[in-house]
Amino acid sequence: MTPEITIAILMTVVGASTPILLAALGELVVEKSGVLNLGLEGMMLIGAVAAFAVAATTGSAWLGALVAMLAGAAAALIFGVLTLTLTANQVATGLALTIFGVGVSSLVGAPFVGMTVEGLGTLFPESLADDAWGRILFGHNPLAYVSLLAVVLVVWFLNRSRAGLILRAVGESDEAAHSIGYSVIGVRYLAVLFGGAMAGLAGSCYSLVLTPLWADQLTAGRGWIALALVVFASWRPWRLFLGAYLFGGVMTLELHAKAAGLSLLEPEFLAMLPYLATIAVLTIISLRRSGARAGAPACLAKPFRASA
């Protein structure tokens, strides 16, 4: 393998890992607060279509990414109202959100099918990325840097900040947090909105970076893989980072095989790989731990309604 190909592979892995890392980081914070939002895929699709629509009509990809975050947060707000205020079942509501996101994105995206937009481009001037190291350090899409920064910030927030401690406490025991005087619902709303914004941003990655061309169901189940990643990472941000890059590698195998001129597997079987890998990884991680939920917040997916 030439250095050229190695670098190219590295670049695609980073590209494929970025959106699932962003989405999974958001979901990790949500789950740490004790809420399970299975609507990740739906929020990503809504973010993707919002980003594309804004970028296509205004010509600004950055504005598109911003609107994607708002759209993702708005979708998360629906989830929040249903599950937190109206105490609806979180699993059912998350599924509804995904079905909703599929519908909304293809409805809003219908006029844009097949259109292309100017994507987010790169963050640094081209001149910095003209040799091998330059490309590895400075040649990635802007959201890749955002996602790495987000990992650091989430680690700091959860482990070092008082707000993060309160968030973990709410996810650990809603009753205790409530009786001390913390607003369980308030904390969870903020977490859910953050998760939505991150999912929206992750969605914009698909429509503004990876394929600046609109097609239905652009995210192709990556939201579910991001959900699995949170379990795989045992709710730890650093392991999430590793997992996202592992999956980025698996997801781009198809491309690499083509680039290397290999055709060991039929294309359909290559396309199955990320999903099969997810199942395999979840199985291994569950086998390794005694309790499959070690590390899971104790109140995950448990509805809370203040009794007083």
Partner 1 sequence: MNGVAPRLALSGVTKRFPGVVANRDVAFEVQPGEIHALLGENGAGKSTLVKIIYGVLAADEGEVLWDGAPVRIANPKAARRLGIGMVFQHFSLFDALTVLENIALGMDEAMGRAELSARVDEILETYHLPLDPMREVHTLSVGERQRIEIVRSLIRTPKLLIMDEPTSVLTPQEVERLFEILRQLASEGCSILYISHKLHEIQALCERATILRGGEVVAECDPKIETAKSMAELMIGADLKEVERRAGNEAGEARMTVRGLSLPGEPPFGVDLDEVSLTVRAGEILGIAGVAGNGQNELLAALSGESLAAKAAMIRIDGTDAGRLGPGARRRLGLAAVPEERNGHGAVPEFSLADNAVLTARHRLGLVAAGFVKFAEARAYTERVIRDFSVRTTGPGASAGSLSGGNLQKFIMGREILQAPSVLVVSQPTWGVDAGAAAQIHQALVDLAAGGAAIVVISQDLDELLSLADNLAVINEGRLSAIRPVAETSIEEIGLLMGGVHGEVVEAQGDAR
Partner 2 sequence: MRARLEARREPSRAMRLATPPLAVLLTMVAGAVVFQIMGFDGPAAIHQIFIVPVIDPSHWPDLGVKAAPLIIIAVGLAIGFRANVWNIGAEGQYVFGALAATGVALATWEMEGVWILPAMCLAGLAGGMLYAAVPAFLKTRVGVNEILTSLMLTYVAIQLLYYLMRGPWKDPEGFNFPQSRLFTDWQTLPMVMEDSYIHLGVPISVLIALAVWIVMGRTIVGFEVRLAGLAPAAARHGGFNAKRTVWLCLLAGGGLAGLAGTFEAAGPYGQMVPQFPVGYGFTAIIVAFLGRLHALGIILAGLVLAVSYVGGELAQTAAGLPHAATGMFQAMMLFFLLAVDILVRYRLRFGRPAAAEGSA
**Which residues here bind partner 2, judged by CB under 8 A?**
38, 78, 81-82, 86-89, 91-93, 95-97, 99-100, 102-104, 106-107, 110, 216, 220-221, 224, 227-228, 231, 266, 268-269, 271-272, 275-276, 278-279, 282-283, 286-287, 291-293
Give residues 280-299 in contact with partner 1 (rule: CB under 8 A): 290-291, 294, 298
Percent composition of the chain: helix, strand, coil (DSSP 3-state, to 5)? 75, 0, 25
CB of 231 to partner 1, least distance (A): 16
Mark 148-177 with x for binding to partner 1 (rule: CB under 8 A) and - for no binding: --------------x--xx-xx--xx-xxx
Contacts of 157 (CB under 8 A, 6+ apart): 29, 163, 164, 167
Residue 106 binds which one of partner 2, partner 1, none, with CB within 5 to 8 A depending on kind?
A: partner 2
Q: Which is nearer to partner 2, 59 or 103 (CB)?
A: 103
Q: Which is nearer to partner 1, 118 or 175 (CB)?
A: 175
- The candidate with the shortest Cα–Cα distance to 191, out of 70, 304, 20, 27, is 27
- The candidate with the shortest Cα–Cα distance to 102, out of 208, 219, 217, is 217
Residue 278, H or E segment:
helix 267-288
CA 302 to chain centre: 22
Residue 189 binds which one of partner 2, partner 1, none, with CB within 5 to 8 A depending on kind?
A: none
CB of 215 to partner 2, least distance (A): 13
Q: Using alpha carbons, list the distances in angstroms from residue 99 to 49, 205, 221.
A: 15, 20, 12
Residue 181 binds which one of partner 1, partner 2, none, with CB within 5 to 8 A depending on kind?
A: partner 1
State whether residue 118 is helix, strand or coil: coil
- The candidate with the shortest Cα–Cα distance to 208, out of 58, 73, 53, is 53
CB of 297 to partner 1, least distance (A): 8
Q: Which is nearer to partner 2, 132 or 220 (CB)?
A: 220
CB of 289 to partner 2, least distance (A): 8
Tell me how many degrees the CA angle 222-227-233 measures, rounded to the nearest 5.
Answer: 120
Residue 110 binds which one of partner 1, partner 2, none, with CB within 5 to 8 A depending on kind?
A: partner 2
CB of 238 to partner 2, least distance (A): 22
Q: At what angle do helices 267-288 and 222-232 cross, to 10 degrees?
A: 20
Residue 227 binds which one of partner 1, partner 2, none, with CB within 5 to 8 A depending on kind?
A: partner 2
Structure tokens at 62: 């950055």
Length, in residues, of the chain: 308
Residue 179 binds which one of partner 2, partner 1, none, with CB within 5 to 8 A depending on kind?
A: partner 1
Residue 11, H or E segment:
helix 3-32
**Residue 180 is a binding residue for partner 1 (CB under 8 A):** yes
Distance separating alpha carbons of residues 77 and 74, to the nearest angstrom: 5
Spell out where 94-184 has E strands: none
Contact positions toward partner 1, by CB under 8 A? 162, 165-166, 168-169, 172-173, 175-177, 179-182, 290-291, 294, 298, 308
